[in-house]
Structure 1
Amino acid sequence: MPKPSSFLASKGFKPFPFQKQTWAAYRKGMSGLLHAPTGQGKTMAVYLAPLVDSISSPDKCAILWITPLRALAADTLRALREAQSFYNPKLSSEARTDDTSAAVRAKLRKRLPHTLVTTPESLSLMLTHADMREKLTGLRCVIVDEWHELLGTKRGVQTELCLARLRTWFPNLRTWALSATLGNLEEARDTVAPENAATISATIKKKILIETIIPKEIRRFPWAGHIGTSLAPQVVEKIANARTTLLFTNTRSQTEIWFQELLSLRPEWASQLAMHHGSLDRTERDRAENGLREGSLRCVVATSSLDLGVDFSPVDQVIQVGSPKGVARLLQRAGRSGHQPGADSRILGVPTNALELIEFAAARQAAGAKQIESRRPLLKPLDLLVQHLVTCAIGTPFRADEMLAEIRSTYSYRNLSEDEWQWALTFITKGGKALSAYPRYQKAQIDKNGFYYIADKRLITQHRLSIGTITSDSHVSLRFANGHTLGSVEESFISKIKPGANLIFSGRHLSLVRIRGKIATVKPAKKKNSGRIAIWGGSKMPLSTELAHAFSDLINLSGKATVPPELRSVRPILKIQKEWSHLPDDQALLIEHAHSREGEHLFIYPFGGRLVHEGLAALLAFRLSKENRQTITTTQNDYGFSLTARRNLPLAEDVLREALSPENLLDDLLECMNTAELARRQFREIARISGLILQPMPGRRQTNTQRELQSSATLLYEVLQRYDPENLLLAQSEREILEKQLELTRLSNSLHKISKQEFILRETEKLTPFAFPLWADRLSATLSPLDASSRLEAMLQELNGAT
């Protein structure tokens, strides 16, 4: 039998020790997790051993490769096919994702290739076909790529459930996961591999150079986004001096903005610039990916759609616009450059406000100290469980006791209770207590031998259309009159644009012709100096605990002789903060009290991240307002939060300690936050995943009037609240909103930490540099843009006059 190392030798490479370890573990029949830097040969480490093990079976599907992003599929296929052709030209590989053409999908339904690259959603869909077990009889190994991207999400749990099904079918199946940036390796391994699995970490030290563009002038009172695209000329210089650059932003809208900015500064680069984000049509994304591989593009502006392991060897520079908010994310993006063994990775940070300079320096410091974020596994999402049970019942009918053992073999559902299991079975057979009278919710039946099965062909088709966990605002396709598709925008955005008005999408200036159904017809705009840039919903990423701690450590070193250049540049800001108040950190709690035209303000800096501060602000405002019955408004950012009232905000430690107590946290949060409305919104996602709301049949429009219950999440939520208040999906929606919206666990930890901290109380005559961004954010949220801008400039003049 040929050796796995033979392929590497044919390319002039010697295997790394971690590759040899992985091959040896596979030969012993082991599963496991491989953790290694980006671009160091992880793919061949996990693929070559099962490939060599199965080269004599070209007619059977021996390997499944699960990828979190469809953008990875083409590049993964290219690498796998090269290895296949070396060992046995008769071996085949193909991809099955949302981008796969109808012709290839039809081909795959007849016969699976030796290696199939797919996504969690597509794998779930495969399980709904009765012949899938037979087609996979030659399966030897499942490889999950970029596991850190899936871990802690419902897509990750969906992968766990699919793996459990495959292991039930094939007990000797080996599963391997790949990850480049994770802090909790053992826990990550346990979620994807069975007991006694291996954890293999590469000892290779890949050099990552993290630098920052420092503005020539920095305002001493910064606020979010005040630098904006002002650094674009310096960014253009950096791009001009590199071979190929990948410029990352944190949002799709920011991608569109920066593409336009680069194009306006260097119009001669029109054919050398491209854009990449998830809402672009596949042809647009393919152009960007192919241009990066070939080195024909000077720069691609992208979101996280290009974060992961695509091999773009020509990329020698990565630029990150805005703080990445996490150490792992910065390292992941940096790894897109120098994507080959022995090469250095370089990333250049571009701050959008002055305090982000510190965040970039802190990320570099934390990365050097290997303070990498962990991804906590998601536990027992019941909406996904019932979706999976229906999936399995469609494909291969099951017995309840056997399926329970299979479900409990996963990490996520290992502690699934008997009551929760019985609820899930009742849900798929009767729809639960409140919906049992409606046939459309009675999906599964039980035959005389105790097997759960589904016979309704209409329900089967609808379920297949609804498989998955990704939910978002309804999308509208953007097309030219000739049928060429550009991509999609959210319905909430395009519905605000009138026919004849201009918009900017995919780097193009467009004019809206009309909207019919889910299609918006556009044409090239005559004037290219106006138009609304497409925006998408989504919350801002919160600062991670690890980066917040590194930020805190760093600012207190600002007075030292030797400090990072980013810190030197913001010394004037930190100097004013220290003179007027105190330098905040995460060891003690700084609380400032100030007055302005709007009234009194409390500024509090726990360094807990945006989402935690949202909950802390609401909680503190609620508890304080119970005493004096006044209206208190709140604002938050990653460093702290503010409370504003007309009068009587206390700067008394005993009062504030009591108001920030962790006692009765959950009850007070449920009372002070609009959790009923938040949970109602979250229920829409849960209702879709659990199958309470199904996609309409192809070619049919979903009606708004039905004799049965409306396919409306709001109505369903109200029905369940009234007639089935113990329904576990209601509890899940509340639990998810607390974790998703407020990061309840992290919030609770913050309150317990605060209860043990020293309080530093400061009465300030002026807004300090750390308070000013919170004040400015509140201004933007409560005043018109013109009034906010005028008030902002007036305050800046006042503050600058005081320094």
Structure 2
Amino acid sequence: MPPPGSPFLDWFRGALGEPAAFQKEAWERQLAGASGLIHAPTGTGKTLSVWGGPLLRWIQQHPDRDAWASMDPVGPRVLWITPLRALAVDTRENLRRPVEALGLPWTVQERTSDTPQALRQKQRKKLPTCLVTTPESLSVLLSYANAEEAFRGLETIVVDEWHELLSTKRGTQTELGLARLRTFNPAVQTWGLSATLGNLGEAKDCLLGVDPPTRRAREGCRLAGPEDAGFELTTLLPGGSKGEVGDGVANRFPWSGHLGIVLLDAVLDALEPAASTLLFTNTRSQSEIWYARICEARPQWLGKVALHHGSIDRETRNAVEEMLRSGELKVCVCTSSLDLGVDFSPVEQVIQVASPKGVARMLQRAGRSGHQPGVKSRIIGVPTNALEVLDFAAARDAGNAREIESRVPLDRPLDVAVQHLVTVAAGGGFDAEAMKEELRTAWSYRHLTDEEFGWCLDFVVRGGESLRAYPRFERVVEDPDRPGFYGVGGQKVARDHRMGIGTITSNAMISVLMGSKRLGTVEENFVGFLKPGDRFVFAGHLVQLVSVRQMVAKVKRASGSRGNVPRWAGGRSPLSTQLAAAVRRRLDAAVAGVYDNAEMRAIEPLLRLQEDWSRIPRSGELLIEKVRTRDGHHHFLFPLLGRLVHEGLGALLALRLTRAMPLTVVVTVNDYGVEVLTDDPLPHEVGFWAEVLSPENLLEDLLACVDTGQLARRQFRDIARIAGLIQTGYPGENRATKHLQASSELFFDVFTDFDPDNLLLTQAKREVLERQLEVARLRASLESLAADEIVCVCPDRLTPLGFPLFAERLREQHQSSQTWEERITRMAAELEAAADRHRPRVK
């Protein structure tokens, strides 16, 4: 521990009270030169646990406090990496408080894409004592020739919200940046801050990287903050108030979204007494709907209700965040854009609309309330269909058992490595052999082979095998006077490269302008279905489309109260492995007749009807329902493994079924199962299903799915952008994403025809397998299913579990949501009437 008379400790005790045990230990470890990872609940003081170390060290080195005022500003000592620009300003202010209170000659600044150009120019010449930045801005700084000199005095690196970066390409980009900084200064300390995470040991290893001499993870400590006070989840149920059992879920045939707005009055009752509430939704579309409905129902709250999601203009989001900080807002309807640790201490309660989909997500959002040590986090669940009532019950079980999802680091994404090589070449150049070893000190590249590095180097030097005839792909050149040393191929190459630094990719987005005001962005696919005069809801406004030109949609205010709501891609989050397992345990309990909480009693009518008409899926078995309607022959499979695994399973089934027989197959998936719709019935025999579900030849068959399904082609667009093959344009130049797609498809075809061993092609296929089709999880699931009993039943009509899949397929086929809703509502009513009349025999 630092001496009791330390000015920092005096300030801390006066402002915040006695430091927590984990904070004291963190300061001791930092003063001893250690690195590590701190895992602690939100609001327990993680920031000061790593900020105190550098402050204490400097104070010990400069004990004459009277001399501080006359000192020049201290040079760079701390680099603070944050995953979100929105966190940078908030973090900067938190870090400044003790600096200003103590009168230290330290400067704390942020550098993101929002930082004024004049300040960025000053930072290029001299960095502040502490720079708060993002992975992308760090890479930009490393791309300047004076990078090593600029970071020479760096002593400590802090990576905030490490769990959010881990398992993403931004995390890999951060690893490579850390490896470069350690090359500049091998003694630099690295500390990470993390909240909810299942694989903390691996997270620490990934953060600290590999020790070159031993080829093992660097030594480091893992510190835990105080045990959180727990969390409390209550679910709003139709027919009852919060935490109470109503009349049960009236609709035993759920379909996506049908309960959400039905519970509006119950949500309003929960909002009334709270001074401030964060109302989380899983998608931007949901947030638009809920914001509009709350404003309609409570016009007296005008000015106290706000909307926040990633497609809304940055300036508007900043204003909303400031209103949250100051306590001006009663309700903020938001998405994951407010998941992370911006400190909105006035927030009194949190509401989660729709299934949380994961345990960590639920705990993270719950932690936005009770944002202080010893205070229990509380969250209110709002199911949007009856099965989500089951999800909330399972989420409570898993949360109390601390069954939190892991985030696995990526393995050698070569597009990020290629980008980094150009960055380092621009930032002073590199020796090839030394660079290879430096890359291997990053955890994600610890298994990088000589051949893979050689390919990456060749790709940036001459464009690889198929692009060597085109000079523009010669981005890195060998110094003729220093064999094996490489630099950037000119200042224009360096400028172009800096414009494209980063790993964040997105779907085609169109700016929405109302007059001269930019409302935000919306997906090109959504606008493509609109014609001038059509109305839609966006950023809380009902607008009418005027025109679309050059990726800009011009709109004007519209009258009325209803319009289409944009649907953003990526909005269908999958059920996590942990939550899916908890759901399975809840279903097993229902089979045993255990309905021991409000949620389970609410959906008891649904589950008992499922058991009467068909069967509740049990552990150790795969339930397959076969039902015939006017649409054809439906085969519903219920592995209960989550949407992503089911997408891979659906693609596999479609391939194998069409190989086995002449057949037209339509596949639909959700978190609970897979629907296979065919014109003719599939065989009923268990042996047939065991064969098409076999784990044998899984990789070969999935690769065939990738080739025929164009999945790798689409994935390659993002890889090509990150690797620098295509550019998104200069500032002010809004290149249409369809042009980027066309360019990437051209490269894809060229590589396929003339350079089939191109490692970026291999990566595209691997990413589809690992991320989109979750091949490892799918293989494990198929192996498990092979040991399960296959149970085929033939109900007379659609069952409570089959109906949501049926409805989802119709949604995808209907362009008009009103037509879809009318048909689904009518069919659900007919099934409800049938359930009330009798219980059909299961064949």
Distance 1:393 1:555, change over 3 A: same
Unaligned runs of 5+ in 1: none
Question: Corresponding residue for 2:43?
Answer: 39
- Between stretches 743-752 and 102-111, larger displacement belongs to 102-111
Q: Of 198, 206, 209, which aligns to 1:191?
A: 206
Contact 2:550-2:736 at 8 Å conserved across structures: no
Once the two structures are TM-superposed, the CA of residue 275 in structure 1 deviates from its matched residue by: 1.2
1:337-376 to structure 2, matched below 5 A, reads 337-376=369-408
- Deviation string 1:377-403 (CA, Å, 9 cap, x unpaired) is 111000010000000000121000100
Q: 1:403 to 1:586 in 2, by over 3 A?
A: farther
Query: For the residues of structure 2 that align with 1:500 and 1:772, how far apart are their CA atoms?
Result: 35
1:514 positional shift? 4.5
The one of 130, 134, 150 equivalent to 2:165 is 150
Indicate the percent of aligned positions where both proteins have the same amino acid: 47
1:75 equivalenced with 2:108 (yes/no): no
State which drifts further: 511-520 or 378-387. Answer: 511-520
Contact 2:8 2:98 in 1 (8 A): no
- The answer for the alignment partner of 2:802 in structure 1 is 771
CA separation in 1, counterparts of 2:458 and 2:626?
A: 55
Match of 2:494 among 446, 450, 460: 460
Deviation, 1:477, is 3.2
Shift of the 666–520 alpha-carbon distance from structure 1 to 2, 3 Å rule, reads: same
757 and 680 in structure 1: CA distance in 2 versus 1, 3 angstrom threshold: same
Matches within 5 A, 1:216-615: 216=239, 217-447=249-479, 448-449=481-482, 450-481=484-515, 483-494=516-527, 496-499=529-532, 501-523=534-556, 525-558=557-590, 560=593, 563-615=596-648
Distance 2:178 2:40 in 1: 23
**Matching residue's letter, 1:572:** P
- More displaced 10-residue stretch of structure 1: 78-87 or 458-467: 78-87
User: How far off is 1:784 after superposition?
Assistant: 6.2
Distance 1:600 1:667 in 2: 28
Partner of 2:468, secondary structure, is coil
- Given the alignment, which residue of 200, 203, 206 partners 2:223? 200
In the TM superposition, residue 106 of structure 1 has moved relative to its aligned partner by 2.8
1:601–1:649 CA contact under 8 A, matched in 2 = no
Q: Give the counterpart letter for 2:643 in structure 1.
A: R
Displacement of 1:537 after TM fit?
A: 2.2
How many corresponding residue pairs? 799
Mapped partners of 2:662, 2:682: distance in 1: 12
Structure 1 position 760 matched with structure 2 position 791: yes
Separation in 2, partners of 1:15, 1:134: 36
> Which amino acid in structure 1 is aligned with residue 745 of structure 2?
T
Task: Tell me the distance in 2 between the aligned counterparts of 1:529 and 1:279.
Answer: 22
- Once structures 1 and 2 are overlaid, which stretch shifts more, 484-493 or 678-687? 484-493
**d(CA) in 2 for partners of 1:801, 1:710:** 50
Secondary structure, counterpart of 1:274 in structure 2: strand
1:103 aligned to which of 118, 141, 154 = 118
Checking the alignment, whether the CA contact within 8 Å between 1:675 and 1:734 is kept in structure 2 is: no
C-alpha root-mean-square deviation of aligned residues, in Å? Answer: 2.3
Give the superposition deviation at 1:280. Answer: 1.8
Change (3 A) 1:583 1:732: same
- The 4+ residue runs of structure 1 with deviation greater than 6 A are 699-706
Q: Return 634-643 or 322-331, whichever deviates more.
A: 634-643
Structure 1 position 530, deviation (Å):
4.4
Map 1:649-660; keep pairs closer than 5 Å. Answer: 649-660=682-693
2:286, 2:656 → 1: CA distance? Answer: 38
Alignment-mate amino acid for residue 682 of structure 2: L
TM-score using structure 2 length: 0.91
TM-score normalised to structure 1 length = 0.95
Looking at structure 2, the residues matched to 766 and 532 of structure 1 have their Cα atoms a distance apart, in angstroms, of 32
The answer to whether the 8 A contact 1:36-1:179 is kept is: yes
Partner of 1:714: 745
Contact kept in structure 1, 2:698 and 2:779, CA below 8 Å: yes
Instruction: Report the more deviating stretch, 390-399 or 772-781.
Output: 772-781
Distance 1:704 1:578 in 2: 49
Structure 2 unaligned regions, length at least 5: 63-71, 210-217, 240-248, 836-843
After superposition, the Cα gap between the structure-2 partners of 1:201 and 1:441, relative to the gap in structure 1 and judged at 3 Å, is same
One of 698, 709, 729 as aligned partner of 1:665: 698
AA paired with 1:469? T
Is 1:10 matched up with 2:14? Answer: yes
SS of residue matched to 2:37: strand
- Distance (Å, rounded) in 2 between the aligned partners of 1:489 and 1:793: 29
Contact preservation (8 Å) 2:125, 2:150: no
Q: Is the 8 A contact 2:283 2:571 kept in 1?
A: no
Residue 56 of structure 2: which of 52, 56, 60 is its match? 52
Alpha carbons of structure 1 residues 134 and 614: separation in structure 2 relative to 1, 3 Å: same
**Structure 1 position 236, deviation (Å):** 1.2
- The 1:385/1:214 distance shift into structure 2, 3 A limit, reads same
8 Å Cα contact 1:586/1:606 also seen in 2: no
Contact 1:316 1:346 in 2 (8 A): no
Between 1:40-49 and 1:226-235, the stretch displaced more is 226-235
Pick closer, same or farther for the CA change 1:271–1:619 going to 2, 3 Å: same
Give, in whole Å, the separation in 1 of the partners of 2:728 and 2:253: 50
Deviation at 1:19, TM superposition (A): 1.3
User: 3-state SS of the aligned residue for 1:412?
Assistant: helix
Q: Residue 439 of structure 2 aligns to a residue in which SS?
A: helix
Q: For 2:142 and 2:721, how far apart are their aligned partners in 1?
A: 19
Change (3 A) 1:701 1:579: closer
Tell me which amino acid in the other structure corresponds to 1:6.
Answer: D
Mapped to 1, the partners of 2:536 and 2:420 lie a distance apart of 41
The 1:710–1:153 alpha-carbon spacing in structure 2 relative to 1, beyond 3 Å, is closer
Residues 642-791 of structure 1 aligned to structure 2 (within 5 Å) = 642-673=675-706, 675=708, 677-698=710-731, 712-782=743-813, 785=816, 788-789=820-821, 791=823
CA drift at 1:38: 0.9
Matched residue, 1:21:
25
Q: Distance in 2 between matches of 1:403 and 1:750?
A: 40
CA contact (8 A) 2:413 2:763 kept: yes
Give the aligned residue type for 1:637.
Answer: N
Q: Please say which of residues 320-329 and 562-571 is displaced more in the overlay.
A: 562-571
Distance in structure 1 (CA, Å) of the matches to 2:466 and 2:137: 32
Change (3 A) 1:484 1:110: farther
Output the CA distance in 2 between the equivalents of 1:201 and 1:42.
10
Maintained 8 Å contact 1:4/1:49: no
**Contact 2:325/2:345 (8 A) holds in 1:** yes
Shift of 1:670: 2.4
The 8 Å contact of residues 706 and 712 in structure 2, kept in 1 or not, is answered as: no
Counterparts of 1:109 and 1:30 in 2: how far apart (Å)?
A: 29
CA distance in 2, matches of 1:414, 1:673: 28
Please give the secondary structure, in 1, of the residue aligned with 2:178: helix
Contact 2:551–2:736 under 8 Å retained in 1:
no
Q: Distance in 2 between matches of 1:703 and 1:615?
A: 30
Which one of the candidate residues 193, 196, 200 is aligned to 1:181?
196
Query: How far 1:789 sits from its partner (Å)?
Result: 4.6
